[in-house]
Structure 1
Amino acid sequence: MAYRESFYRFLMTQKDPDSINDVAQFANNAQNDSQFPKQEQDYEKLSEYLELNAPYLPSMTIFDEAYQMYLDKMSN
């Protein structure tokens, strides 16, 4: 099985403190979340964590968009 970086590592490439883009804002906020599952790749586990522990994420649709970007990058 090929190496796949964690979702968190991918998400950190999307940070931009000056952006109003939802995924960039999610990345900016996730960076400050000390409990974020930094090694996780699994959608369900990440989704469950965010639903229960991420008040900084206004909509799970933003996570879905970011996770799809992650999958697209990992498939290249």
Structure 2
Amino acid sequence: MKNHSFYQFILTVRGRKDAKGELAEEIFDDLSFPKQEKDFNQLSDYVETHGNFTVSMAVFDDLYEEYQEWLKF
């Protein structure tokens, strides 16, 4: 099982031509994004309150689920 942060996973999503890829680009461009964080609640709170993200929280939720699966391999 991998021990990577959500941000490290996001780097693998960049370049996708969908809403997940768009959110990944926005996270990448956000210099204050918590790059070492793994906790869903901390990340969700940040995306909801600190970021200037244009994608819905449902996309973030889907990405976090994908992150959880990615950690397994």
Both structures adopt the same fold (TM-score exceeding 0.5): yes
1:3 and 1:15 map into 2 onto residues whose CA distance is 19
1:64 and 1:3 map into 2 onto residues whose CA distance is 20
- Opposite residue 29 of structure 1, the aligned amino acid is E
| Larger helix percent | 2
Secondary structure of 1:35 counterpart:
coil
- Opposite residue 46 of structure 1, the aligned amino acid is L
The normalised TM-score by structure 2 is 0.90
The normalised TM-score by structure 1 is 0.87
Q: Identity of counterpart residues, as a percentage?
A: 32
Report the alpha carbon displacement of residue 3 of structure 1 after superposing the two structures with TM: 5.1
Which string of whole-angstrom CA distances, capped at 9 and with x for unpartnered residues, describes residues 25-70 of structure 1? 0011111100100000000000001000122232110100100000
The answer for the alignment partner of 2:66 in structure 1 is 69
Structure 1 residues not aligned, in runs of 5+: none
| 1:57 aligns to 2:26 (yes or no) | no
Structure 2 residues not aligned, in runs of 5+: none
Q: CA RMSD in A?
A: 1.5
| 1:7 aligns to 2:6 (yes or no) | yes
The answer for the alignment partner of 1:45 in structure 2 is 42
1:21-32 aligned at under 5 Å gives the runs 21-32=18-29
Report the alpha carbon displacement of residue 73 of structure 1 after superposing the two structures with TM: 0.9
Secondary structure of 1:13 counterpart:
helix
